Amino acid sequence: MPGLFVTILLSPIPFGFIKLGRWIVHALRKRHLRGLWGFVERQPIVFVTSYADVDKILHGTHAWDFYGCMELQNFLVNEFTLQGLHSVPSMPAPDKRTRQNNLFLVGGWIPNPVTEQLLADDRVVYHFDYENGEKGNDIVSRKDADFRLAARWDDARERVIRDYGIITVARNCYQDDRYILAACGCFGWGTYSAQVLLKRPNVVRYLRSGGRYFQAICTCEVDAHGFPKDIHLLDLHPDDRIRRATLVALDFGKST
């Protein structure tokens, strides 16, 4: 009997089951990702990047916008057969022909004027608030006047220790059958985190439960060296002291 067990173990049968299991896991992963990103195999996507580090409150986090953007573009190239991927700066503003593509906006309303236009749409729930008459970094909601999320600083207010970001998927107002996706944070770490989460199948699957167009908020810790860590969607955060429901459906009507 032990000899039969060893024979089965050394036969191709167990390895076949392992390969089958890996194939199933890969297929499910791909299916979840296509739920959001499938359009890139049919239509081009244009990344509209923030043009400069112009945040008056905190300089230097703008680089994380670009790190996240490069990683996300590499992910799309490796995961999908793309119909086209391009990057353009947000200043000068992209022309109308460019805007009629699927767009991915990188950066908040301070460094990216195209993000500012998107978040000014009353159909969008989460946006940033003004502070002392100037563009601020706090996230607020059009549906809840008491909702506010601000980056957390250490006690000496010398560095940020937690940042937040908004993930948005909306209809492109310049071309009804195209998307606008946006990753924008209170600071660069939040923008980076939003882009990281859009590569995770479990997160994408959850976000798609919000419908075709939606928003949600993510968060990350920032370590003593200025690197983001512990990146999560607020809705799926493992710490129940931080976890909260933020996924909202956006009503952009039906595409024509």
Taking the C-alpha atoms of residue 139 and residue 115, their distance in angstroms, rounded to an integer, is: 14
CA angle 38, 35, 42 (to 5 degrees): 15
**What's the half-sphere exposure (Cβ side, CA atoms, 13 Å) at 170?**
27
Q: Is residue 141 part of a domain?
A: yes
pLDDT at residue 27, as a whole number:
66
Taking the C-alpha atoms of residue 78 and residue 73, their distance in angstroms, rounded to an integer, is: 9
pLDDT at residue 51, as a whole number:
80
Residue that has been written with the tokens 């909702």 in this structure? 147
Q: Is residue 52 part of a domain?
A: yes
Q: Is residue 255 part of a domain?
A: no
CA angle 112, 197, 224 (to 5 degrees): 80
Q: 173 near 105, Cβ under 8 Å?
A: no
Q: What is the pTM of this model?
A: 0.89
> How do 134-141 and 148-149 pair as beta strands?
antiparallel
Q: Is residue 188 part of a domain?
A: yes
For the chain, 256 residues long, give each residue's pLDDT as a single digit of tens: 566 655 655 666 655 555 545 545 556 678 889 999 999 999 999 999 988 888 888 888 999 999 999 999 999 999 999 999 999 998 888 888 899 999 999 999 999 999 999 999 999 999 999 887 889 999 999 999 999 999 999 988 789 999 999 999 999 988 889 999 999 999 999 999 999 999 999 999 999 999 999 999 999 999 999 999 999 999 999 999 999 999 999 998 765 4
pLDDT at residue 255, as a whole number:
53
Taking the C-alpha atoms of residue 206 and residue 236, their distance in angstroms, rounded to an integer, is: 9
Q: Is residue 254 part of a domain?
A: no
* Token pair of 108 as six digits: 């908040």
> How do 228-233 and 179-185 pair as beta strands?
unpaired
What are 59-72's pLDDT values in tens digits?
889 999 999 999 99
Tally of structural domains, the chain: 1
The domain of 93 spans: 2-249
Cα separation values, 174 from 36, 45, 99, 102, Å = 20, 14, 6, 10
Q: Is residue 56 part of a domain?
A: yes
Q: Is residue 243 part of a domain?
A: yes
Q: Is 173 helix (H, G, I), strand (E, B) or coil?
A: coil
* Token pair of 245 as six digits: 């429901």
Q: Is residue 256 part of a domain?
A: no
* Token pair of 186 as six digits: 């209170």
pLDDT at residue 8, as a whole number:
56
For 41-80, letters b (16+ CB in 10 Å) and e give: eeeebbbbbbbebebeebeebbebbbebbeebbebbeebb
pLDDT at residue 256, as a whole number:
46
Taking the C-alpha atoms of residue 69 and residue 91, their distance in angstroms, rounded to an integer, is: 17
Taking the C-alpha atoms of residue 67 and residue 110, their distance in angstroms, rounded to an integer, is: 18
pLDDT at residue 77, as a whole number:
96
